[in-house]
Amino acid sequence: MKVLIADRFEQSGIDALRALGLDVLFQPELKEAALAEALGTTKTDVLVVRSTKVTDAIMEASTLSLIVRAGAGYDTIDVKSASRRGIYVSNCPGKNSIAVAELAFGLILALDRRIPDNVFDLRAGRWNKKEYSKAPGLHGRTLGLLGFGSIGQEMAKRAQAFGMHLAVWSEIGVKVGRDGVPADMPVFVRLRATGEAADPIVKVYDSPAEVAANCDILSVHVALNDRTRGVVGADVFAAMKPGAYFVNTARGEVVDYKALEAAVKEKHLRVALDVYAKEPATPTADFADALIQLPGVYGTHHIGASTDQSQDAIAAETVRIIQTYVGTGRVPNVVNLSRKTPATHVLVTRHQDRPGVLAHVFDRLREAGINVEETENIIFADAEAAVARISIKGEPPADVVAAIKSGNPHVLDVHVVAVQ
């Protein structure tokens, strides 16, 4: 099996894939037409990418059966085209969560203590302790999190260590117990003020704007999809407190940067960004963004996931995905399988484990014009008998069921169950 890695990737991962006996091609410079040509000429089975875009045109002439995004998101891959072509798409969720959370918290600290400005002035020979001694501090303040997946939860853990309160919105919902502790995060402890009742660990709100209105620092950690594109808009910035902090280490497309620019000027928001509305397509390039030039706005180079630890973890997860696929035909973390098939009924067929039994069943269904959506065949002990659960679209007529049952001596029983 051939694996083409068309992006930067850890050497440890390349070595591990080759140790599996795979034919690994490492060509990180391939993009667009050159990538499409390489896939067509090499007859590659598995494609590994990071930021490289995989379009319908790139897939058209390929023999791909699996695309792995060596990272958390997969918005750079045309998933609909992959699904139409029967190509699995998989990713590595959660493997860079700590790295992104570390950068996001570093940016929050930089905003609060104005660390970049401190460094700049000292390098310019200016000592200004009086000015830089002014800082609100983080303890007791409220961190607003838009998104409460793996990165948002890593942010929440760090906020607790800093003695902060939390305000949260998530498109997929947040489960919080009566005691205010997130259901999946039992390590949390309550914040208590001397002589006062405990505050809830997490306050969950129904919209991003409500979180913005109830926090001092707003940090974005949502995945990019059709529901979150532009979700942080003018209404969110209008709700923020004057002088509040805003951090985005997620995706540039989830934020209305024109509205953010206006809010920086009008409400004096302090902002830290790792992602932008328009980013260079190459690792090094000229970069111009009016927002970054504004006072109180800091920027980094889309490096949230780029620590040695996270890259090693992503490489290891990529190897695990491919190894599982090669060894079992199954794909961990697959993102483009249907959550609900069109099946309306299940044909349950008990049969002796003999050649031709399932072919007989499928032939009768084909003759009746009934499509098979999914099949599961479970073998009993000693491999003498089995039961096949065949999900089908449409209820088979009684005569078809009778033909299945009587037309092969190894069929023991057949019954139909409607899908609930």
Closest by alpha carbon to 147, among 75, 88, 55, 218?
Answer: 218
Q: How far is CA 91 from CA 55, 64, 180, 282, in A?
A: 16, 16, 32, 22
Secondary structure E strands in 236-384: 245-248, 270-273, 297-299, 345-352, 371-379
Catalytic one of 301, 302, 354, 410: 302
State yes or no: is 123 an active-site residue.
no
The helix or strand, by DSSP H or E, that contains position 156, with its residue range, turns out to be: helix 150-161
Helices then strands, counting H and E runs in the chain, come out as 14, 16
d(CA 58, CA 39): 8
Catalytic one of 210, 279, 373, 395: 279
d(CA 2, CA 27): 13
Catalytic one of 69, 141, 165, 251: 251
* DSSP secondary structure, 21-88, as one string: T-EEEE-TT--HHHHHHHHHHHT-SEEEESS--B-HHHHHT---SEEEESSS--TTB-HHHHHHTT-E
| Beta-carbon count within 10 A of 278 CB | 10
| DSSP-derived secondary structure letter, 351 | E
- For 259, counting Cβ atoms within 10 Å of its Cβ (0-12 exposed, 13-18 middle, 19+ buried), the class is middle
State yes or no: is 415 an active-site residue.
no
Residue 400 dihedral angles phi and psi, to the nearest 5°? -70, -45
HSE-up of residue 273 (Cα within 13 Å, Cβ side) = 27
The amino acid present at 53, given as its one-letter code, is K
| Beta-carbon count within 10 A of 159 CB | 24
State yes or no: is 279 an active-site residue.
yes
CB 203 within 8 Å of CB 143: no
Q: Which residues are catalytic?
A: 251, 279, 302
